[in-house]
């Protein structure tokens, strides 16, 4: 049976939106590298949210499984994670992203200066990105949401492990695990600050 994509005719466009946005970030990285000798991020993780996850998210949020809900009410069909070596680079990249001509910032959450109670740290941006292709409303140029999560390597390591453990609800000792995870997050945040200081010391030599 051929089930239609929740993204409808936009299913073929979403990978192109993702590719175009990543190309913007890669070009920014090359430019910074040519000016300073060092790239600004470590790596990118980019994905179009799978059909299955999008359908599950619509249901979880009490929304019907339609193209409009997937691309207008939910804002992370296109997602990019930017992993940096140093904490300060995150805030520099945020400024670069704000300056991309076809990008409008819709919302931002700074879970770095305001970590979540569980210890989660990351900087989130929801962007409205203008592209030369049709969007969910049939307009050309089109507007697509792009979710960007910016984290250091340490923040990303913690988030990946915590994400894995979240799905193992049957483990005993939940209280201890939660408090140990929080302790690790805070220690890693301390390491990020120390690494930042070390870079400063090396650069000022
Ligand atoms: P997935 O599978 O990673 O896509 P939203 O649920 O997106 O509508 P919310 O909760 O306001 O709205 O968004 P927020 O706080 O910006 O978080 C969205 C995403 O950030 C999550 O996506 C996770 O990827 C990540 N995130 C937020 N909090 C945590 C956390 O405590 N631990 C970890 N590991 N990741 C977190 P999804 O859709 O939940 O999941």
Candidate from 81, 111, 124 with most ligand 1 atoms within 8 A of CB, to mutate: 124
Backbone φ and ψ for 11, nearest 5 degrees, come out as -60, -35
Within a domain: residue 171? yes
Backbone φ and ψ for 128, nearest 5 degrees, come out as -105, 120
Q: What single-letter DSSP state applies at residue 24?
A: H
Residues 164 and 141 grouped into a single domain: no
Within a domain: residue 3? no
Residues 139 and 168 grouped into a single domain: no
pTM of the model: 0.94
- Of 113, 137, 152, which residue is a domain's last? 152
Q: Find the 115 Cα to ligand 1 centroid distance in Å.
A: 13
Within a domain: residue 1? no
CB 122 within 8 A of CB 155: yes
**pLDDT, one tens digit for every residue, the chain (205 residues):** 557 999 999 999 999 999 999 999 999 999 999 998 989 999 999 999 999 999 999 999 999 999 999 999 999 999 999 999 999 999 999 999 999 999 999 999 999 999 999 999 999 999 999 999 999 999 999 999 999 999 999 999 999 999 987 777 777 788 888 899 999 999 999 999 999 999 989 887 6
Residues 78 and 140 grouped into a single domain: yes
Using one digit for the tens of pLDDT, what is the confidence trace for 43-59? 999 999 999 999 999 99
Indicate the number of domains in the chain: 2
Burial 15-32 (b: 16+ CB within 10 A, else e): eebbebbbebbeebbeeb
Candidate from 159, 178, 184 with most ligand 1 atoms within 8 A of CB, to mutate: 159
Assign residue 91 the CATH number of its domain: 3.30.460.10
Q: Residue 172: is the preceding peptide bond cis (ω within 30°)?
A: no
Q: Find the 76 Cα to ligand 1 centroid distance in Å.
A: 10
Within a domain: residue 2? no
Element (H, E) at 81: strand 78-84
Q: Which domain holds residue 187?
A: 159-204
Q: Whose CA is nearest to atom 30 of ligand 1?
A: 120
Using one digit for the tens of pLDDT, what is the confidence trace for 99-125? 999 999 999 999 999 999 999 999 999
Within a domain: residue 124? yes
Residues 148 and 177 grouped into a single domain: no
């Amino acid at each position: 049976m051929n089930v239609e994509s929740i993204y409808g005719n936009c299913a073929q466009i979403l990978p192109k939106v993702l590719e175009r946005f990543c190309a913007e970030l890669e070009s920014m990285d090359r430019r910074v590298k040519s000016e300073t000798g060092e790239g600004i991020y470590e790596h990118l993780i980019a994905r179009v949210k799978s059909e299955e996850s999008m359908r599950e998210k619509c249901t979880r949020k009490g929304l019907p499984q339609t193209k409009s809900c997937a691309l207008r009410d939910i804002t992370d069909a296109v997602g990019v994670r930017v992993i940096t070596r140093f904490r300060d680079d995150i805030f520099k990249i945020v400024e670069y992203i704000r300056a991309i001509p076809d990008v409008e910032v819709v919302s931002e959450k700074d879970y770095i200066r305001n970590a979540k109670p569980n210890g989660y740290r990351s900087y989130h941006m929801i962007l409205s990105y203008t592209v030369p292709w049709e969007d969910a409303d049939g307009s050309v140029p089109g507007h697509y949401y792009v979710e960007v999560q910016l984290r250091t390597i340490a923040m990303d390591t913690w988030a990946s492990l915590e994400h894995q453990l979240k799905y193992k609800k049957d483990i005993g000792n939940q209280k201890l695990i939660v408090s140990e995870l929080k302790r690790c997050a805070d220690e890693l945040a301390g390491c990020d600050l120390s690494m930042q200081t070390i870079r400063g010391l090396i650069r000022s030599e």
